[in-house]
Amino acid sequence: MITREDVRELAQFQCNKQESCALSFYFQPRTPQNKSHREEIILAKDLVRNALRESEKNGKNGCTREDLNRILDLAGKMHGNPARAKAIFACSAENMWREFDLPPQLPGTQLFVNRRFHLKPLGPLLGAQPRL
């Protein structure tokens, strides 16, 4: 579970190195439509591929590849539990990797690559959960 102090720490984080990137990954599991399909894995792979393409265009492929591959591996293990969402914040250049289990109330599975972590999806959770 994520606390307000965790959110403050993440909000203060900024990648200081020129080629470094901050990745924010939000995983919102869905009830599978068909047991033979792993929609969450397909969606995560698509998000990772798109992020890699964008990073390559901007010349920041090295800073994201390690973190994106790690997120992809983890996403493959998270399928099938619609009772728990997950947020991952990573920046390998700054040796930062934080994972949080969340209530399943995120707007969807999303991936953001920037100089700072994208924290907007956590806003509704902070107001709704007294323990956060």
pLDDT in tens, 28-66: 877 666 665 567 778 888 888 888 888 777 766 666 888
Q: pLDDT at position 132, please? A: 44
| Domain extent listing, the chain | 4-127
Q: Which CATH architecture has domain 4-127?
A: 2-Layer Sandwich (3.30)
Q: How many residues does the chain have?
A: 132
- Looking at per-residue pLDDT, the higher value among 64 and 12 belongs to 12
- Prediction pTM value: 0.84
